A = this chain, B = another copy of it.
């Protein structure tokens, strides 16, 4: 890499000090009484040689990188991809750049990535935390670096959290199925004690018990890859042929579930109704279209950025914490059509 032009090179060429160049480049020419002709001379030369400031040096001096580190479970998951896009877009307009990284919900990978972010001196963190990084989060907070958790949080750690009403989301979905005469409703979730999954489970169980129905739960072990998830779900459906509806706890469980259902030649919604917690663009594309408990992506992105900016610019606000709970939206599509008499005779 060729040596790049620095502020000193510009200063030398224009017969001024580097301070003057810095003032001009940072729009402080006015308040520092730099004459217009001097400013213009500098600006002209800057344009001529296509100078771009060295942000590394700038960051070292100012202690600010204007970079925000963002940890998600997987950037290819449509939910996280959409959140990331919404956040990046807003951050960009405010002059911040987002560093993305996927944890794959792996504790050690997440710890590692936080270390990388720390080394790069990111100004703040946006994290969908995997299990087991409580201490790392605490340590960031001790440094007084703004941290926002989203999608899930640790009840044991005092943080800023932007979450959705997971309990209500699954409760509503089950109530809807019950009102449409479904009686044997299953729930496919993850073997996980993360807050969002526990809340979805509670919503399911309360709705089932409230209606005196039997619960059928499959907890898929964490860190399975796709074909294994599919097989677990196949087994579950085979062993519980009485099921006439299933709620899937995440969109990728739903995707795998649909593939399992296809493979077993079961018809949706004739033989079994399907609802996904978490919407996905493909759910309105496929036939039948899939009913979903949608998370309010744009609202989440907005809330995250708003709280983050407050924390960045107001140390007092940053020393406090806030938990914002947003409501889900229940989107009824074809996969959960009202159960007819005919279909009751399974």
Please give the residue numbers on chain A whose beta carbons come within 8 Å of chain B beta carbons, in ascending order. 1-2, 4, 50, 52-57, 59-60, 63, 65, 75-76, 78, 81-82, 84-85, 88, 97, 99-100, 102, 115-116, 118-121, 123, 139, 142-145, 255, 258-259, 262, 282, 285-287
Contacts and interface: CB of A to CB of B under 8 A. Distances in A.
A52 B115 contact: yes
Contacts of A50: 139
A259 B287 contact: no
Contacts of A76: 78, 81-82, 85
Given A1-B63, A76-B82, A144-B1, A55 B255 contact: no
Nearest to A57: B60
Q: Which of A55, A88, A142, A258 has the most CB of B within 10 A?
A: A55
A4 to B, nearest CB: 7
B286 A119 contact: no
A55 B262 contact: no
A75 B85 contact: yes
A203 to B, nearest CB: 27
Contacts of A258: 285
B81 A2 contact: no
B85 A121 contact: no
A121 B55 contact: yes
A85 to B, nearest CB: 6
A172 to B, nearest CB: 26
B56 A65 contact: yes
Nearest to A124: B1
A248 B24 CA distance: 52
Given A1-B145, A143-B2, A286-B286, A97 B84 contact: no
